[in-house]
Amino acid sequence: MPVLFVGHGSPLYAIEENEWSRGFRGLADLTPRPSSVLMVSAHWYTDGTFVASNERPPTIHDFYGFPRELNEVQYPAPGDLQLANRVRELTGAKLNDQWGLDHGAWSVLRRMYPNADVPVVQLSINGRLSVAAHLDLAKSLVPLRDENVLIVGSGNVTHNLRDLMMRMQMNDSSVPDWSRNFDERLREILVSRDTKSLVEFWPASEDARRSHPTPDHFLPIVYAYAVTDNQDQLSFPIEGFDRSVSMRAMRWG
């Protein structure tokens, strides 16, 4: 199976028709239909490593201040206990039957698979681990690609929420240099498969720290990269910025 990373951006893209939501929809045309999706979302950032084992994962509305219509969205995709146990076997993650699908997962999958008929399992991001440790853990997921599982990382290449809110309040649609610089340098690192530079990329520079005050939206990129190799062709099916947020998506394979 190919591997995806998606810059999911605002939860509103789950209900708005715009270039980003159309881009999410188009990702389904770029991948064979999977038996299940393993999602690594920025919004399940935990103390420890967990894999969701809820057979009917609820739709989590993990945001506030948005229209009622968005809070009423349900994405009733089933879970996959067999896949959850396989992930536990590969990674040592603990099963968690309390988690559902956060907006980093369903806002994208709602566009890709609108009938909610592809099972979804989420793997949490362990906040205790270094970037190098995340890379090593993610490598253990490689066998899933031959088991018809679509591995998807969901975050954003740049994500500074405070800066974004400030620009929205000021009606400032400009893209700051630090965001463009980080986005372009990351693209170079991924194209050249410079693993050392990827591991050292955050939080080594001022651009990196401004692009990601916290690593939660950056680490899903590491997971997607780690399960690919030199044989996988890399493309960027979605590119562009929503103010300071890079909406870049990647496809390997």
**Tens of pLDDT along the chain (253 residues)?**
999 999 999 999 999 999 999 999 999 999 999 999 999 999 999 999 999 999 999 999 988 778 899 999 999 999 999 999 999 999 999 999 999 999 999 999 999 999 999 999 999 999 999 999 999 999 999 999 999 999 999 999 999 988 888 888 999 889 999 999 999 999 999 999 999 999 999 999 999 999 999 999 999 999 999 999 999 999 999 999 999 999 999 999 9
Q: Are 63 and 177 in contact (CB under 8 A)?
A: no
**Per-residue model confidence (pLDDT) at position 164:** 86
Provide the residue ranges of all domains of the chain, joining segments of one domain with +. 3-252
In this structure, which long-range contacts are made by residues 229-233, counting pairs with CB atoms below 8 Å and at least 24 apart in sequence? 230/193, 232/2, 232/3
Q: Which CATH fold topology does 3-252 show?
A: Protocatechuate 4,5-dioxygenase; Chain B (3.40.830)
pLDDT of residue 67: 86
User: How far, in Å, CA of 207 to CA of 184, rounded?
Assistant: 11
For residue 55, the model assigns a pLDDT of 96
